[in-house]
Structure 1
Amino acid sequence: MDTPARFGTNRATLLAVLVFALCLTTLTAASPWFLLLLVVPAVLAAWVLRTGFDVTGDAVTVHSLLGRRRVPWSEVAGVRIGERGDLWLVTTGGTEVRLPAVRARDLPAIGRASGGRIPVPELPDGQ
């Protein structure tokens, strides 16, 4: 089995989540009920650590906070670039799966990781 190429949210984002959690802990001096607010940074940290996708020789596996979806290369029709530069994996069945944590600028790295299965358009010289 080959090692997957992983694409996900930058782990440095966890620092901001930690600072947010520390700021929320000061509220617990007002009332212990504010401890419930610490669920929010816990969910944010889980989202940062979990969401993303893996590219292997067999398939693309998209991970969300609560699940995952594996799309074999035989079912991949291409990649669609959304209006805001977000990427969507288009399947041969006509469905689309959002590729989290990446934008159109990441397409060359995804194309390299796919071994050429996802073509990357060449830019004209000088751009």
Structure 2
Amino acid sequence: MSDQQIPSKLVFRIPGVAILAALLLAVCATPVAFAAPWLPLLYVIPLAIVVWVIRVRTTATAEGIVAREVFRSRTMPWDSLKSLRLTKRSGVRAVLADDTEVTLPCVRVRHLPALALVSGGRLDDPTETPVTEAEDKAEEPVVEAE
């Protein structure tokens, strides 16, 4: 097996191209925004989308996970994690030692092998098949004495 470089930090976030959708929404709202005195408040919606895209993310390092939402952030060391729970919509939640669940924004089931790699073995990779002792012994070469 070749030597793999383990990344020191992984960031799961919304792609920056989503800001273009917010800008397009602002351009489309312009004709409507000047129809009445209070309608320029429609520009708050694209601004909120931009803030959401820039702010929301999950960062995984060798020390732990940081789940950042729009108004709050939660830092969890790997030792405080009990497990990860998968949601029906392919989302991932961290279950802490006190059984509280913390949503990991932008982390999906397909990202679990990468999280396992960054955790340094604290999380199991669900895509690897466990090797049983019988299979391990079967793989050993048999040397016969003459």
Do they superpose with TM above 0.5? yes
Letter matched to residue 49 of structure 2: L
Ranges of 4+ aligned residues in structure 1 off by more than 3 Å: none
Letter matched to residue 35 of structure 1: P
Q: Choose 64-73 or 24-33, whichever is displaced more.
A: 24-33
Aligned length: 123
In the TM superposition, residue 106 of structure 1 has moved relative to its aligned partner by 1.9
| Cα distance in 2 between the residues matched to 1:22 and 1:109 | 38
Q: TM-score, normalised by structure 2?
A: 0.76
Larger CA Rg, structure 1 vs 2:
2
1:116 corresponding residue in structure 2: 121
Are the counterparts in 1 of residues 33 and 42 from structure 2 also a CA contact under 8 Å?
no
**Does residue 22 of structure 1 match 2:54?**
no
Letter matched to residue 126 of structure 2: P
1:32–1:114 Cα change, 3 Å: farther
Q: Choose 8-17 or 112-121, whichever is displaced more.
A: 112-121
In the TM superposition, residue 20 of structure 1 has moved relative to its aligned partner by 0.8
1:38 corresponding residue in structure 2: 43
Letter matched to residue 43 of structure 1: A
**Does residue 90 of structure 1 match 2:95?**
yes
Superposed counterparts of 1:54-93, under 5 Å: 54-93=59-98
Q: TM-score, normalised by structure 1?
A: 0.86
Letter matched to residue 11 of structure 1: G
Measured on the aligned residues, the alpha-carbon RMSD in Å equals: 1.8
| Cα distance in 1 between the residues matched to 2:39 and 2:30 | 8
2:141 corresponding residue in structure 1: none
Letter matched to residue 103 of structure 2: R
1:106–1:3 Cα change, 3 Å: closer
Letter matched to residue 109 of structure 1: A
Q: Identity rate of aligned residues, in percent?
A: 33
| Cα distance in 1 between the residues matched to 2:70 and 2:55 | 6
Letter matched to residue 39 of structure 1: V
SS at match of 2:41: helix
In the TM superposition, residue 15 of structure 1 has moved relative to its aligned partner by 1.1
In the TM superposition, residue 34 of structure 1 has moved relative to its aligned partner by 1.6
